[in-house]
Amino acid sequence: MIENIQTKATITYKSAQKKQRYCPDPGQQLAMAAANYHRLQSLLGDIGSLEQSAYQLGGESSTKTELRITVIQRFTYTTTLELRQPEVLGGIQKLALAVRLYHDMQLAEVVQSTGFGQHQGRYTLPEPHGYSVDEKTQLNRLLAEWLQQCLRHGVPISDPQAITPESY
């Protein structure tokens, strides 16, 4: 009986050592990138002439926040936007995402986030900066949620030209 328990414990220990590595799902990531591109198009309209835009989210004054969108780079086939939440809301730090739009493929992906350089598709653990293994996927999911909230509940700020970097 004791031998049987020791054998099961050894097998359990060995199977626990063989954890599977995180493997990004390219199909899921492409679908999310395509959906984010179309959400941005629905939200912003003609991206080719856009310079900046802003949306107010939330109903009560205590939960209102803004999402500011600014074009930071424009080329023939790509545009890079900065999406910034300037206020601290509920203890969440200020957040900014750099989102690259690929017009020929109709895809949008997060390429940078607040204070960090370009994100890798996968990180190994332990990661010295505290990223999770699927950090980039999580950031793209956050972008999807932000855009869905803007489409459902966002109110365009009437004069986006009044947005200045000092007000960030």
The single-letter DSSP state of residue 118 is B
Which run of H or of E encompasses 65?
A: strand 65-74
pTM of the entire predicted model: 0.71
Average pLDDT over residues 108-135: 65
Location of structure tokens 């179309």: 38
Q: Give ∠ CA 119-124-130 in degrees, rounded to 5.
A: 65
- Gyration radius (Cα) of the chain, Å: 21
Q: What is the pLDDT of residue 159?
A: 57
Per-residue DSSP letters for 67-114? EEEEEEEE-SSEEEEEEEE-S-BTTBPPEEEEEEEETTTTEEEEEEET
Q: What is the overall mean pLDDT for the chain? A: 75
pLDDT digits (tens, 9 = 90+) for 144-155: 998 998 898 888
